[in-house]
Amino acid sequence: MALPINVLDLLRSSSKINAEREKPLRIVIIVEPDAPDALIDSVRDRFRPNTSGALLQIEVAEPDVRVALRDTSDVVIAVVGSGCSGIAATLAEARERAIPALAVGLADSVGDVAECAAHPYADTVAASEAERAVDSEVAAWLVERLSAKRLALAHNFTFMRKAVADEAVKATAMQNALIGAVMIIPGADMPLMTLNQGKMLLQIAAAYGQSLGADRVKELAAVVGGGFALRAVARQLLVFVPGFGWAVKGAIGYGGTIAMGKAAITHFEEGFGLSEIAGRLVEVRDAAIERIRTDRRTLKSTASELAEARHPLEADEHSGP
């Protein structure tokens, strides 16, 4: 039976994703001698590469000495203590050479660490606990600043997996919300949404170190293809929120994608493999469809709010100077 999703497109995406997670990483970590031991230990434990594709340059900051940075360096991470070791000079050089650089420290205020390292607030993270500083703050910054190597980061460093997967879910949900809201041709939105969901699941699987062979891709295609059932639900809901079809389809595209992505992440975090998760996603999909069917009142209210927000913009577009 033909699957309601382009398997060839998913296979091409799988090859691309595999290539992305094999990209080389060159990370420079500079540690101030008086940085908190807990933070140093946390950074050391998290940045243990899983593959030979990630090379780390570990340096101890010394007063009035700039660490030699290579042109191939992807990122500089400075573990900040008192800031008296001259670490600011190396961070400044990284900025001059357009190498993403992060200052991380233990403090209640980001400002305290930024001023200590003479580094921009936007590229500084701080937390009162070492694990939170690295697992949450450093991971989020790396996902944002090294977007082209997110999958390579997740492939090499276990603590990066969830942050990379969360970003894939968020980006795909927004894409599907937009597709549902603006697509004019009836029925043309669902194939695109479904394909996006398949690609999202491949990214999540790659982030968690799963193999992405042809058999796995076809298995995911069969599961995600079931998302076409959402089309029938959308048609039913259009009767209950007339005039707001764009909002209905946008809400379904966003909510269905979020539900599927979060379920996949949860199961990967619990140690399930891709084959097991593919089966469980059927349950998630069916539960999401049932919630959409029974929550029409909430959807209608949301559609009305979206319409109210949209009307002023439409009025501005049609008004003259």
The reported pTM is 0.80
C-alpha span between 49 and 157 (Å, rounded)? 6
- Residue identified by tokens 């305290």 is 112
Is residue 121 within 8 Å of residue 91, measured between CB atoms? no
Q: Identity (one letter) of the amino acid at 237? A: L
Strand partners, 78: 30, 103
pLDDT at position 285 is: 60
- Residue identified by tokens 């009767």 is 239
| pLDDT for residue 111 is more than 80 | yes
Query: Residue 206: which of 16, 3, 12 has the closest Cα?
Result: 16
C-alpha span between 27 and 72 (Å, rounded)? 9
Q: Identity (one letter) of the amino acid at 53? A: G
pLDDT in tens, 30-88: 999 999 999 999 999 999 999 999 999 999 998 877 888 988 999 999 999 987 777 99
Work out the angle at residue 167's Cα, subtended by the Cα atoms of residues 166 and 172, and round it to the nearest 5 degrees.
100
pLDDT in tens, 252-291: 667 778 878 888 898 888 888 776 776 676 676 666 556 6
pLDDT at position 101 is: 97
Work out the angle at residue 252's Cα, subtended by the Cα atoms of residues 250 and 256, and round it to the nearest 5 degrees.
125
Strand partners, 275: none
| pLDDT for residue 248 is more than 60 | no
Location of each CATH 3.40.50 domain in the chain: 22-156
C-alpha span between 80 and 42 (Å, rounded)? 13
Is residue 50 within 8 Å of residue 157, measured between CB atoms? yes
Is residue 138 within 8 Å of residue 171, measured between CB atoms? no
CA atoms within 13 A of residue 31's CA, in its CB half-sphere: 17
Strand partners, 26: 55
Q: CATH for 22-156, among 2.40.50, 3.40.630, 3.40.50, 1.10.1060?
A: 3.40.50
| pLDDT for residue 19 is more than 50 | yes
C-alpha span between 36 and 238 (Å, rounded)? 58
Residue 227 is given by DSSP the state G
Backbone Cα Rg of the chain: 23
Is residue 54 within 8 Å of residue 22, measured between CB atoms? no
